[in-house]
Amino acid sequence: MAGSTPSGRSYAYLYIADSPDGAIAETICRDLPLDPSIARIVPASAVAGRTLTALTVTRTLTTAALHGPHLSAVGQDLQVHPVIACGPSVSGPKNG
């Protein structure tokens, strides 16, 4: 995926997770309301045409933890990114 900074510089990004549940939560469920009084229903249009892909990491990746106290390292806070139930970040290839 690609994004851009306020100054117009572009950059690439990829949301990753340690499990299929984490990947679905990060990409599809992130915009669902967090209010427990509102049903959290994923519309069919949110999943149409999508696939779940497993990647094999073959070298060390630089990642950023975007949850809890780690948000301050990238100039963010929980008000900007309210989902804090995240697993550990991927830091390199898994052996085995």
Query: Per-residue pLDDT tens for 22-49?
Result: 888 878 887 788 788 888 888 899 889 9
Q: What DSSP letter does each residue of 47-81 carry, written as one string?
A: HTT---------S-------SGGGGGGGT--TTT-
Q: Specify the higher pLDDT residue, 53 or 77.
A: 53
- pLDDT at residue 94 above 50? no
CB atoms within 10 A of CB 46: 13
What distance lies between CA 41 and its chain's CA centroid?
Answer: 19
pLDDT exceeds cutoff 80 at 6: no
pLDDT at 59 (0 to 100):
92
For the cut 60, the answer to whether the pLDDT of residue 93 exceeds it is no
Task: Determine the pLDDT at residue 17.
Answer: 83
Ramachandran region, residue 68 (left: φ > 0; alpha: ψ -120 to 50; beta: rest): left
4: DSSP letter = E
What residues does each domain of the chain span?
A: 20-74
Question: Are 91 and 60 within 8 A, CB to CB?
Answer: yes
pLDDT at 28: 84
Span 59-82, mean pLDDT? 72
Dist. CA 4–CA 44, nearest whole Å = 28
